[in-house]
C-alpha cells in the first residue's frame, strides 16, 4: 500500500472513495464548517444524512453517500464523542475504512478528518495513526491460496489535509507507513504455518532484512548452541528434526550508546512436546513465534526510519515436538546462565528458550531488555484479549513500556513479581523447575525468566492473549495482529527522541 498526503479542496477530489471521520457532536448541530464545501458539492446530501439521524457519528457508525460530482463515494465513519477521540480511535477508523473499501472492490482510499473531529490529536500523530490504521485494515494474506483469490487490494491511501499542516502530516505518515510495513511482515510470518515458517526460515528472513538494511545478523544452530552450553534451548529442540536457531540482529544508528535489546519467543510450532496439548485448536500454536515476528517487524521499521539509537534483536527459535528423542518430564538440564532446570512440563518451553536468550543478551551490555512472548494460557484467563501482561524488574522501564503501549494502542497491564511467587518454581532436584503449577501461571512464568536476568533493566510482555484473534472485528480479520511492532517502535522512537 502506497500512502501520501494530499492538499486539495474536498470538493475537487475525484477519488473513488473518500472516507470522512466524524465525531458525534457534529451531528446534533450542522455539518462542520470544514465540510461545508464538500456538502454543497454533494448538493446537501451530507446535511440530509446528518439531519435524518441515520448517522450519529457514534463509534464505528457507517454510511455511504453517492454524489453526482466529486468523489464517487463518501463514506462517513463515526468516531464517537469528540472528547473521547484519541489516536486509537482514529487508527481504528482508518482500518475500518480500508476494510470497507476493499469489500467494495476498490483500490484507492482518501481519508479526511475535520479538525472538529480530531479530539486534539496533533497533525503529526493524525498522519501517523491514519496510515498505520489503513495499512492494518488493508492487510490480507493470499500467499497460500492456489486458486484465485478475487479480493481487491488496497493500493493507495491518501490523507487529505490543509496546506499549513502538510509538513506535520507528512512526517507522521512516514512513520506510520514504516510501522505499517513492519507490522505486515510480522503478520505474514505469524500467518505462515509451521511447515513453512521453521526456525531456519526465520533466520532467512533475518538475513534478508540484514541485506536490505545493513544489519549484522548471526544465527547459532544446534552445534553452536552446544558449544555455547545453551541446553535450555537445546532441550526444547531435541524432539524436532528442525535445526534450532538463536538469531541475533544488530542495528547500529548511534555511537557508543548501550543498545535496547528486544527478545522474541520463536517457537514455530508448539505441540506441547511429551506433555502434549489437546488436539482442539492446536493449529493455533503456529502463532507461538509471534514474539519473534514482532522483533523482525520492528527491525523492518528500524531499517525504514533509521533512528539514532542502537537496537539488538535476539530470537531463540525452535519447534516443540514429541518424539523418541524429545525431552521428558523430570529431565534436568543446565542452562547457559549456569542454573540447572528441572523440566516438569515440556509444554512450558517458551520460558526455557527465553532463559538462554536472556542470559545470552548480557554480551551486548544492553541499556534494557524487553522480551515479547506468547508465554502462558493463564494470561488469557487473567487479562483476556485486550491487554498485554507486563512484568519486570525495573519500575521505570515498566512505566516507559506502558507509555509506549498506550501510544501504540497495544496496552499493557502490570502483574506483580513479588518474592512469594518465586518459591512456586522451587525444585527438589534442580535450582528451579519450569512450571510453578496452575496458580498465578503468568507470574510464575515471569519469575522463571527473572531467574536468568542479570544486571540489566528488563521488562517481559506476555502476548499470548493479544498476538492473534480467533474472531473477526470491524477493524481486523481473525488471525494475527502483528502486535508488538507498534509498541516496540514507539518505545524505540521515544528513546531516540522522536
- The residues annotated as belonging to the active site are 277, 351
Are 468 and 455 in contact by the 8 Å Cβ rule? The answer is: no
Element (H, E) at 270: strand 266-270
Rounded alpha-carbon distances, angstroms, from residue 83 to 61, 86, 89, 259, 335: 17, 8, 11, 39, 52
| Element at 432 (helix H, strand E) | strand 432-433
Interaction between residue 350 and ligand BES (CB under 6 A): yes
In the complex, the smallest distance separating the C-beta of residue 285 from Zn ion, rounded to whole angstroms, is 7
β strands within 13-72, DSSP E: 17-23, 62-65
Are 336 and 228 in contact, with CB atoms under 8 Å apart?
yes
Give least dist CB 378 to ligand BES, A.
6
Part of the chain binding Zn ion (CB under 5 A), chosen from 28-36, 286-294, 351-359, 390-398:
286-294
Helix (H, G, I), strand (E, B) or coil at 48: helix
Contact residues for Mn ion (CB under 5 A)?
270, 347, 349
- Cα distance between residue 456 and residue 314, in whole Å: 15
How many CA atoms within 13 Å lie on the side-chain side of 456?
24
Interatomic CA distance for residues 248 and 192, integer angstroms? 21
Tell me the C-alpha distance between 424 and 420, whole Å. 8
Residue with cell 502506497: 2
Nearer residue to Zn ion within complex by CB, 65 or 373: 373
Q: Is 465 in the site for Zn ion (CB under 5 A)?
A: no
Task: Give yes or no for a contact between 397 and 262, defined as CB atoms under 8 angstroms apart.
Answer: no
Smallest gap from residue 278 Cβ to Zn ion (A): 14
Beta bridge partners of 267: 318
H/E run at residue 412: strand 412-414
Q: 142-181 mask for ligand BES (x: CB under 6 A)?
A: ----------------------------------------
CA proximity to 125, closest of 94, 100, 96: 94
Q: Does 371 bind Zn ion (CB under 5 A)?
A: no
Beta-bridged to residue 3, according to DSSP, are: 157
Stretch that binds ligand BES, among 12-20, 200-208, 256-264, 370-378 (CB under 6 A): 370-378
CB of 281 to ligand BES, least distance (A): 9
| Nearest residue to 265 via CA among 191, 226, 318 | 318
Decide if residue 388 touches ligand BES (CB under 6 A).
Answer: no
Q: Which is nearer to Zn ion, 288 or 490 (CB)?
A: 288
Q: Identify the residue among 345, 399, 427, 469 touching ligand BES (CB under 6 A).
A: 345
Nearest residue relative to Zn ion (C-beta) = 270
Q: Residue of minimal CB distance from ligand BES?
A: 377
Among Mn ion, ligand BES, Zn ion, none, partner that 376 touches (CB below 5 to 8 angstroms by kind): ligand BES
Under the criterion CB under 5 A, does residue 194 sit at the interface with Zn ion?
A: no
Position among 132, 243, 347, 451 found at the interface with ligand BES (CB under 6 A): 347
Q: Which is nearer to Zn ion, 331 or 394 (CB)?
A: 331
For residues 181 to 210, the per-residue mask of contacts with ligand BES, x marking binding by CB under 6 A and - elsewhere, is: ------------------------------
Please report whether residue 435 would count as binding ligand BES according to CB under 6 A.
Answer: yes
Closest approach, Cβ 445 to Mn ion, in A, equals: 10
Contact 333, 232 (CB under 8 A): yes
Min separation Cβ 184 and ligand BES, Å: 22
Judged by CB under 6 A, the residue of 39, 165, 243, 270 near ligand BES is 270
| Pairing mode, strands 412-414 and 332-334 | unpaired
Report the residue number, 270 or 451, with the smaller CB distance to ligand BES: 270
Chain residues in the site for ligand BES (CB under 6 A): 270, 288, 345, 347-350, 374-378, 380, 435, 441, 464
Chain residues in the site for Zn ion (CB under 5 A): 267, 270, 288, 350
Amino acid at each position: 500500500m502506497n500512502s501520501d498526503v494530499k492538499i486539495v479542496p474536498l470538493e475537487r477530489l475525484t477519488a473513488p472513495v473518500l472516507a470522512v471521520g466524524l465525531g458525534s457532536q457534529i451531528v446534533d448541530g450542522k455539518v462542520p464548517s470544514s465540510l461545508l464545501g464538500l456538502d454543497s458539492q454533494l448538493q446537501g446530501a451530507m446535511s440530509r444524512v446528518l439531519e435524518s439521524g441515520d448517522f450519529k457519528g457514534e463509534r464505528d457508525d457507517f454510511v455511504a453517500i453517492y454524489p453526482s460530482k466529486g468523489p464517487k463515494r463518501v463514506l462517513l465513519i463515526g468516531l464517537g464523542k469528540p472528547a473521547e477521540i484519541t489516536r486509537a480511535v482514529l487508527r481504528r477508523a482508518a482500518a475500518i475504512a480500508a476494510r470497507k473499501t476493499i469489500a467494495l472492490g476498490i483500490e484507492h482510499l482518501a481519508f479526511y478528518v475535520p479538525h472538529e473531529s480530531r479530539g486534539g490529536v496533533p497533525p503529526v500523530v493524525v498522519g501517523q495513526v491514519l496510515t498505520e490504521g489503513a495499512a492494518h485494515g488493508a492487510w490480507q494474506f493470499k500467499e497460500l491460496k492456489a486458486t484465485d483469490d478475487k479480493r481487491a487490494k488496497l493500493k493507495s491511501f491518501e490523507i487529505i489535509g490543509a496546506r499549513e499542516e502538510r509538513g506535520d502530516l507528512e512526517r507522521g505518515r512516514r512513520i506510520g507507513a514504516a510501522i505499517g510495513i513492519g507490522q505486515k511482515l510480522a503478520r505474514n510470518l505469524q500467518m505462515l504455518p509451521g511447515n513453512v515458517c521453521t526456525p531456519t526460515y526465520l533466520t532467512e528472513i533475518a538475513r534478508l532484512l540484514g541485506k536490505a538494511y545493513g544489519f549484522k545478523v548471526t544465527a547459532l544452530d544446534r552445534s553452536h548452541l552446544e558449544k555455547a552450553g545453551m541446553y535450555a534451548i537445546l532441550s526444547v529442540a531435541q524432539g524436532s528434526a528442525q535445526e534450532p536457531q538463536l538469531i541475533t540482529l544488530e542495528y547500529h544508528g548511534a555511537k557508543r550508546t548501550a543498545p535496547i535489546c528486544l527478545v522474541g519467543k520463536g517457537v514455530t510450532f508448539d505441540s506441547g512436546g511429551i506433555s502434549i496439548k489437546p488436539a482442539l485448536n492446536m493449529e493455533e500454536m503456529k502463532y507461538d513465534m509471534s514474539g519473534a515476528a514482532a522483533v523482525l517487524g520492528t527491525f523492518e521499521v528500524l531499517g525504514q526510519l533509521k533512528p539514532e539509537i542502537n537496537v539488538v534483536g535476539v530470537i531463540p527459535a525452535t519447534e516443540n515436538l514429541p518424539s523418541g528423542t524429545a525431552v521428558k518430564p523430570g529431565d534436568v538440564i543446565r542452562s547457559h546462565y549456569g542454573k540447572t532446570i528441572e523440566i516438569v512440563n515440556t509444554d512450558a518451553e517458551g520460558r526455557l528458550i527465553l532463559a538462554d536468550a536472556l542470559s545470552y543478551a548480557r554480551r551486548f551490555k544492553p541499556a534494557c531488555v524487553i522480551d515479547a512472548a506468547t508465554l502462558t494460557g493463564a494470561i488469557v484467563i487473567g487479562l483476556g484479549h485486550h491487554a498485554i501482561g507486563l512484568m519486570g524488574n525495573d519500575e521505570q522501564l515498566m512505566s516507559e513500556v506502558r507509555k509506549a503501549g498506550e501510544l501504540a494502542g497495544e496496552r499493557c497491564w502490570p502483574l506483580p513479581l513479588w518474592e512469594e511467587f518465586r518459591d512456586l518454581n522451587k525444585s527438589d532436584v534442580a535450582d528451579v523447575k519450569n512450571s510453578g503449577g496452575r496458580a498465578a501461571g503468568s507470574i510464575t512464568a515471569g519469575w522463571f525468566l527473572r531467574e536468568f536476568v542479570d544486571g540489566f533493566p528488563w521488562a517481559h510482555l506476555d502476548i499470548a492473549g493479544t498476538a492473534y484473534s480467533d474472531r473477526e472485528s470491524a477493524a481486523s480479520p481473525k488471525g494475527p495482529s502483528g502486535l508488538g511492532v507498534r509498541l516496540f517502535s514507539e518505545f524505540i522512537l521515544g528513546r531516540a527522541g522522536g
